[in-house]
Amino acid sequence: MLIVMKPEATTDQIDAVIARIEGVGATAHPIFGERLTVIGAIGDTDVEQHIADLELEGQPGVDEVKPVMKPYKLASRVEHREASVFEIGGAKIGGEHFALMAGPCTVESREQLLETADVVLAAGANMLRGGAYKPRTSPYSFQGLGTEGLRLLAEAKEITGLPIVTELMDARDLEAVLEVADVIQVGARNMQNYGLLTELGRAGRPVLLKRGLAGTLEEFVMAAEYILKEGNEAVMLCERGIRTFETAYRFTLDLMAVPVLKQMTHLPVVVDPSHAAGRRDLVESLSLAAAAAGADGIIVEVHPNPEEAICDGPQALRASDFPAYARKVEQVATIAGKAPFLREAAGTA
């Protein structure tokens, strides 16, 4: 931490700041310049936080307090230089590994889920997504099939062997979700639900953490830190579009977040083009752009009959278009340095 004193700061004020720094176990290194004094406060990373908690900005004579360490200790690349790679039910993500996760927004029926799962499997995608608990803007909208949806996901997993990505909204459903989920999704609206994040940190299952609608990248990474701090290292960050002044599409997909998050952290970065766009016609180009930007994975909505979807139909890729889409994403991802990822077991799709 660097504490910059005001040019008019008195010796007593400088000494008072030094005393407070030393009071939390840090060592103070004052540098007396001609015009002002800067105090370097050195200690381990916890000490840095303790100094931040002193809120020295309000102290007499203090001009500015500048952290030199990142507040996200576990997510940052400082002590973990290599990109994290996770193996999830046979699929790998991170480093040179790309994962394509696809499926319906929500589990609607046995027929709908199994039909979609077949298409996702045949196209060679790596994981099946589907929500049993849905965060809907209106409390009067369909809220998901709940435990029945989880049961259907378990059946789809048994038939296809695909790992399952599904959302948890309420920690009271954790046990039930753990029965089937290979990856637990935290929706955008829960990015800063710290109680839920802490529970997921303890649960130890891989987490796909979506960026909040108005979350800055630092807030996003700090949210991941809540999960990592409990000992769960398998966190994937998902950019899914943020609120901006633009109204021509549902959200603004922040693709700059991809390379920047990869500089800030060692965690895999996934992109969700479906919820950003809100419209099917944009999904493929956003996916290719995400792959080109270096994303480690894509999570995309697919439906056998989008016109009849209970939710997010307008943005769902048609199942019949999915195989060609998957191949294009693979082509671009390989140009961006990823290994081919579509499973060889893929059928004629």
List residues near Mn ion by CB under 5 A. 105, 312
CA gap 245, 253 in Å, rounded: 13
For position 204 contacting ligand PEP by CB under 6 A, the verdict is: no
- Contact region for ligand PEP (CB under 6 A) — 83-91, 154-162, 181-189, 332-340? 181-189
CB 102 within 8 A of CB 128: yes
Q: How far is the CB of 274 from Mn ion (least distance, A)?
A: 6
For position 314 contacting ligand PEP by CB under 6 A, the verdict is: no
Q: Which does 48 bind (CB under 5 to 8 A by kind): Mn ion, ligand PEP, none?
A: none
Q: Which does 187 bind (CB under 5 to 8 A by kind): ligand PEP, Mn ion, none?
A: ligand PEP
Q: How far is the CB of 133 from Mn ion (least distance, A)?
A: 12
Residue nearest to Mn ion (CB): 105
Candidates 50, 149, 139, 39; CA nearest to 104 is 149
Q: What does each C-alpha distance from 316 to 89, 164, 171, 304, 347 come to in angstroms? A: 25, 18, 28, 9, 22
Q: How far is the CB of 286 from Mn ion (least distance, A)?
A: 15
CA gap 41, 126 in Å, rounded: 48
Write the single-letter amino acid at 25.
Answer: G
Q: How far is the CB of 312 from ligand PEP (least distance, A)?
A: 6
Q: How far is the CB of 262 from ligand PEP (least distance, A)?
A: 20
CA gap 311, 281 in Å, rounded: 17
The number of residues in the chain equals 349
Q: Which does 77 bind (CB under 5 to 8 A by kind): Mn ion, ligand PEP, none?
A: none
Binding residues among 231-290 for ligand PEP as defined by CB under 6 A: 240, 272, 275
CA gap 49, 317 in Å, rounded: 46
